[in-house]
Amino acid sequence: MDVLQTVYFNNTLLQWIIAIGIAVASYLVVQALRLLVVRRLAAMAERTASRIDDILVGVFKHTNSVLVLIITLYFGSLFLTLPDKVAHFIKIIATVAFFIQIALWGNCLIDNLISRIHSLRREKDPASVSAFGAVSFFARLVLWSLVIFLILDNFGIDITALIAGLGVGGIAIALALQSILGDVFCSIAILIDKPFEVGDFIIVDDKLGTVEKIGIKTTRVRSLSGEQLIFSNTDLVSSRIRNYKRMNERRVVFSFGVTYQTPVEKLEAIPLAVKEIISSIGNTKFDRTHFHKYGDSSLDFECVYYVLSRDYNIYMDIQQQINLAIFRHFEKEGIEFAYPTQTLYISK
């Protein structure tokens, strides 16, 4: 018992044994809990279709044993009588280890979330990998910046002036790179809001084509005539975009004119005949046909119907069927299509 009361560095041997025992026991308990949680979550992940448990397994697996050891040694040091400077130094080291471990967990969480989202969209939008990379980079930048500021604050460094200096420097950098940063943030906006995706047919002002790639700075569109159109993401976000890929049905308006010599009975029958023609064709929904106006050299009719498909070729096939059917009907009824003519009356 006298040996246990021997004093070493202001603490008895018994106190040293207790402190070391608490540190070792804390370390073993934390590691055992980590293994238990990982095994339980892994078993749960195999039984469920949810991705959350898979992500949590990956996060807990990134627990660093050295950092855990440093933290548990701090718990053991609480049972010792140490000089204030030594105790404060151990506390700072343990705090730094704790923040670094939090950052490692957060970094793993960001990686898993981004990879899960990207894997779900990989087949639909393979070109969005660059935009996902930008999101991952900025999320990590924010995470590690917060951790570094917290660590510096625990070292007693006044981070207010540092943040102010970084703010001024950041403003200067942002002003110098505002066009590039604008395109980067707009690519993230396109990724999140999804006004269009790879494979969509879009029209921007008088430019039209199929989206091939959504990059960090530019979006590339293949036009109908074959050349590649390159838009900056800032221009796209600020433009009015017409996305034909998301069109469920196409509204079609067309008109035709017949001669003024057409009898009124046949004029009255034309709307019903056109309705029957359009209704008899598949993938269509008839809306209306009206005697629209008196033209300069024709009696004009306006027709409206819907094509129940976004495919342009299907629309053109249907319109061709309608035109041919109307032509056959008019030929059968003796109705003549009008074309620009002028009649001159000469007085004596």
Tens of pLDDT, residues 13-32: 777 788 888 888 888 888 88
Give the pLDDT of residue 123: 57
Q: Which residues of the chain have pLDDT under 50?
A: 176
Domain membership flag for residue 44? yes
Tell me how many domains the chain contains.
2
Domain membership flag for residue 176? no
Of 65, 94, 121, the last residue of a domain is 121
What CATH number is attached to the domain comprising 275? Answer: 3.30.70.100
Give the pLDDT of residue 328: 95
Give the pLDDT of residue 105: 87
Tens of pLDDT, residues 61-75: 778 888 888 888 888
Give the pLDDT of residue 145: 81
DSSP state string for 22-69: HHHHHHHHHHHHHHHHHHHHHHHHHH---SHHHHHHHHHHT--HHHHH
Give the pLDDT of residue 269: 94
Q: State if pTM tops 0.85.
A: no
Domain membership flag for residue 127? no
Give the pLDDT of residue 315: 93
Phi, psi torsion values for 234, nearest 5 degrees: -65, -45
Give the pLDDT of residue 260: 92
Domain membership flag for residue 141? no
Give the pLDDT of residue 165: 59
Question: Residue 331 is encoded by which pair of tokens?
Answer: 């030929």
Spell out the long-range contacts of 208-215 with Cβ–Cβ below 8 A and sequence spacing 24 or more.
212/127, 213/127, 214/125, 214/127, 214/128, 214/130, 214/131, 214/187, 214/190, 215/127, 215/130, 215/131, 215/187
Other CB atoms closer than 10 Å to residue 348's CB: what's the count?
A: 2
Domain membership flag for residue 76? yes
Domain membership flag for residue 126? no
Domain enclosing residue 82, as ranges: 7-121
